[in-house]
């Protein structure tokens, strides 16, 4: 029985900051970001947008696009590392918002949960639902990867920011992708990138030696959560390389494949924290699979030979054929954490649909990564009717029509200083308010569908 992605949709911010604008303001040579990392635009949420609105909008588009009866949906599973609450999952917000449009109680018998493991949580949600559909082939599930990749101003990660959501309908006998059951995994508990609860003594804030109540906090210690991560870029990159190479080898073992597995893949889909991350790191797998080619490169050290291999005709051909199509949208949107690998999938499929490529019955390979750290490698077969489904997506057209903002507006949005939206919401879910007064609802987030 075939199980996989039957349809796919997306929702992204309508605003973006040109990377050249950020580069000039940060005294960075623009070509270092544009030609060096493949970055062109950095999407950024408007004042009324967050991971809940992105997720709910993407899910609603998917349901309306496919004319799905809510009673058919047995699961709504969300992968995210940008949750708005430490207890109430994004999935429960999405469920209630969908019911506000499709009928109260219409998802009453639908299971909903969030899965969190940095940027690989969306893949975990996908595989969980694939297994569910294998056991219950008459059911359907929706998997959503929704995130806001936000970094501190003037940090080394600032230019990799982005936001958005990808929603996927998971069914038996799918029309887009059918997944095999074998998965390669590599996991190690490390601190390459994380979002800790940071604690301060109350006296540091109030300047009072007494432990007096402060905004409802009775403890002497105050915990603060920031959307921005603590990270070590170079170490994180090495963890990424270690995990993907180990998971790739494990996948070969689990699937009992020999030889160069990637050669069987028409497209290589990787987690892209920035546009060119895939092409920069897949070279390690390529070198391991081609030791004689590596040995023949000019250079005194392995590092020198590896660098030369990245410029070899063989590797450049692989990039152009198997990796480049998945990079197109990333360069126009930025990192969307759990959704980036699926954005790469949508980008590649939209590109090949435009090129009228015959992908039917060909394999694609997924190389996922989440800091902390874990990688999963798996593959899928492109289904016969993929093109008719993907033709409904207007990904590239949407990117062309997005709205450019200036640097001052970007900084105000980043610091949450704006009291109203840059672009008023239209035909979408929007964050309306956050409860501040009612003691039994303080912090509750309220959303509406704005026509």
Asked whether 113 and 90 are in contact (CB, 8 A), the reply is no
pLDDT value at 254 more than 90: yes
What's phi and psi for 86, nearest 5 deg?
-85, -5
Measured CA to CA, the distance from residue 17 to residue 20 in angstroms comes to 8
pLDDT at 66: 96
Query: Domain 3-192+232-450 is of which CATH architecture?
Result: 3-Layer(aba) Sandwich (3.40)
Q: Answer for the pair 295, 220: CB distance below 8 angstroms, yes or no.
A: no
Q: What percent of the chain has pLDDT over 90?
A: 93
At residue 287, the pLDDT reads 97
Contacts (Cβ under 8 Å, ≥6 apart) of 400: none
What confidence tier does 210 reach under pLDDT thresholds 50, 70, 90?
Answer: confident
Q: Which residues contact 74 (CB under 8 A, 6 or more apart)?
A: 109, 110, 111, 132, 136, 139, 140, 141
The pLDDT confidence band at residue 425, using thresholds 50, 70 and 90, is very high
Count other Cβ atoms within 10 Å, centred on residue 182.
Answer: 16
Q: What is the pLDDT of residue 267?
A: 98
Positions of CATH 3.40.47.10 in the chain: 3-192+232-450
pLDDT surpasses 90 at 414: yes
Q: By CB neighbour count within 10 A (0-12 exposed, 13-18 middle, 19+ buried), where does 396 fall? A: middle
Rounded Cα–Cα distance for residues 71 and 60 (Å): 14
Which region among 206-210, 305-309, 320-324, 384-388 has the lowest average model confidence (pLDDT)?
206-210
Question: Per residue in 264-315, pLDDT tens?
Answer: 999 999 999 999 999 999 999 999 999 999 999 999 999 999 999 999 999 9
What pLDDT is stored for residue 382 in this prediction?
A: 98
**Average of per-residue pLDDT across 110-138:** 98
For 128-137, the pLDDT digits (tens) are 999 999 999 9
Residue 173 in 3-state DSSP?
coil
Q: Which of 39, 42, 14 is nearest to 331 (CA)?
A: 39
Give strand ranges (E) for 59-149: 73-79, 111-115, 140-149
Mean of pLDDT values over 40-48: 98
Give the pLDDT band (50/70/90) at residue 207: confident
What is the rounded distance in angstroms from the CA atom of residue 226 to the CA atom of residue 195? 7
Cα–chain-centroid distance for residue 443? 26
HSE value, Cβ hemisphere, 13 Å, CA-based, for 58: 34
Assess whether pLDDT exceeds 90 at residue 215: no
Instruction: For residue 424, name the pLDDT band (cuts at 50, 70, 90).
Output: very high
Residue 161 pLDDT > 90: yes
262, 268, 273, 275 alpha-carbon torsion, rounded to 10°: 120
Is 154:25 a contact under the CB 8 Å cutoff?
no
In this prediction, residue 277 carries a pLDDT of 98
Considering only CA atoms, which of 175, 170, 150 is closest in space to residue 160?
Answer: 150
- Number of Cβ within a 10 Å radius of residue 342: 28
In Å, the largest CA–CA distance within the chain is 71
- What is the per-residue pLDDT across 316-343, written as a single tens digit (0 to 9) for each? 999 999 999 999 999 999 999 999 999 9
Distance between CA atoms of residues 167 and 61, nearest Å = 9
The answer to whether the pTM exceeds 0.95 is: yes
């Amino acid at each position: 029985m075939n199980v996989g992605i039957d349809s796919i949709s997306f929702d992204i911010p309508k605003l973006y900051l040109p990377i050249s604008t950020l580069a000039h303001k940060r005294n960075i040579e623009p070509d270092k970001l544009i030609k060096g990392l493949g970055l062109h635009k950095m999407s950024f949420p408007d004042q009324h947008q967050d991971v809940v609105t992105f997720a709910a909008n993407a899910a609603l588009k998917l349901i309306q696009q496919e004319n799905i009866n809510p009673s058919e949906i047995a699961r709504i599973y969300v992968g995210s590392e940008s949750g708005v609450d430490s207890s109430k999952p994004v999935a429960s917000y999405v469920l209630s918002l969908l019911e506000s449009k499709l009928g109260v109680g219409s998802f009453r018998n639908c299971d909903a949960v969030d899965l969190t493991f940095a940027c690989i949580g969306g893949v975990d949600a996908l595989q969980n639902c694939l297994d569910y559909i294998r056991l219950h082939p008459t059911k359907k599930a929706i998997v959503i990867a929704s995130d806001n990749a936000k970094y501190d101003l003037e940090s080394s990660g600032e230019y990799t920011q982005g936001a958005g959501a990808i929603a996927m309908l998971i069914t038996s006998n799918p029309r887009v992708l059918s997944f095999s059951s074998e998965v390669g995994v590599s996991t190690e508990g490390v601190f390459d990138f994380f979002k800790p609860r940071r604690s301060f003594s109350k006296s540091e804030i109030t300047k009072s030696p007494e432990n007096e109540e402060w905004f409802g906090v009775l403890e002497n210690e105050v915990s603060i959560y920031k959307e921005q991560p603590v990270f070590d870029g170079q170490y994180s990159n090495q963890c990424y390389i270690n995990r993907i190479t180990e998971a790739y080898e494990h996948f070969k073992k689990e699937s009992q494949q020999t030889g160069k597995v990637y050669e069987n893949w028409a497209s290589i889909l990787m987690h892209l924290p920035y546009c060119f991350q895939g092409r920069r790191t897949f070279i390690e797998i390529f070198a391991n699979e081609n030791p004689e080619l590596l040995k023949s490169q000019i250079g005194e050290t392995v590092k020198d030979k590896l660098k030369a291999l990245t410029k070899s005709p063989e590797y450049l051909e692989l990039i152009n054929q198997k990796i480049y199509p998945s990079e197109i949208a990333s360069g126009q949107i930025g990192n969307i954490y759990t959704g980036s690998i699926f954005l790469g999938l949508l980008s590649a499929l939209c590109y090949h649909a435009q090129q009228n490529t015959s992908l039917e019955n060909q394999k694609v390979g997924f190389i996922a990564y989440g800091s902390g750290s874990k990688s999963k490698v798996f593959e899928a077969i492109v289904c016969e009717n993929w093109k008719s489904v993907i033709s409904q997506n207007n990904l590239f057209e949407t990117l062309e029509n997005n709205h450019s903002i200036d640097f001052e507006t970007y900084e105000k949005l980043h610091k949450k200083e704006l009291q109203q939206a840059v672009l008023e919401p239209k035909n979408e879910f929007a964050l309306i308010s956050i409860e501040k007064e009612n003691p039994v609802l303080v912090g509750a987030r309220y959303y509406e569908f704005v026509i």
